[in-house]
A = this chain, B = another copy of it.
Amino acid sequence: MTDSTPGRRRGDDLERAIFEATLEELSEVGYANLRMESVAARARAGKASLYKRWPSRAHLVRAAARHLGSATQTAFETTGDVRTDLARVAQRIADFESGPYGEAIRGFVGELRAVPEDEDEELRLQIERPRSLVVAKVFEAGVAAGTVRPEALEPRVVNLLPALMTHYFLTRGRPAPPEVTDEFIDLIVMPLISLD
């Protein structure tokens, strides 16, 4: 019955509360200024409960990002027009990046070292895979309709638009605005994948 003032949460309940607090803090202060103490306070939890679960801020944020990722799987239906679909995909990526997920990615990138941990790779894939699947779906529809070259299904090509969006976000501090997105699509992706 989802009590609004639970006496003392444990296990998954508590974990969820900590994740939510983490994501809110990420949105508000960003990764660089995220404090374990603030997260604990916000979740009305003890710091010890955080450190019992995750050894560091980086681990906590990765876990929170994974939590958010798995909780946010929305379906994507193609319209039949590749150009239109790509713009929608790009918009979806931009929306993600402007929330806590974007800050989580930024933090994750900032702490990556030459030898990434397995957990890093796992989170990277978790971010990349859904995006690739959606773009692949769009390209496949285009190939079937005879407007897209089959070579567009190469993973590097499928990842091209997401990579450009992410690169812009990381190096500019905010998601690519629509004008920029349009250039990615019209000057790069469409010319590359279109038949003729």
Contacts and interface: CB of A to CB of B under 8 A. Distances in A.
Interface residues of A, number: 35
Nearest to A175: B114
A106 interface: yes
Given A106-B110, A113-B30, A192-B188, A124 B157 contact: no
Nearest to A160: B188
Nearest to A29: B113
A195 interface: no
Contacts of A37: none
B111 A109 contact: no
Contacts of A1: none
A107 interface: yes
A172 B127 CA distance: 13
A164 interface: yes
9 contacts: A32-B111, A106-B110, A106-B112, A113-B173, A116-B172, A120-B173, A154-B187, A160-B164, A160-B188
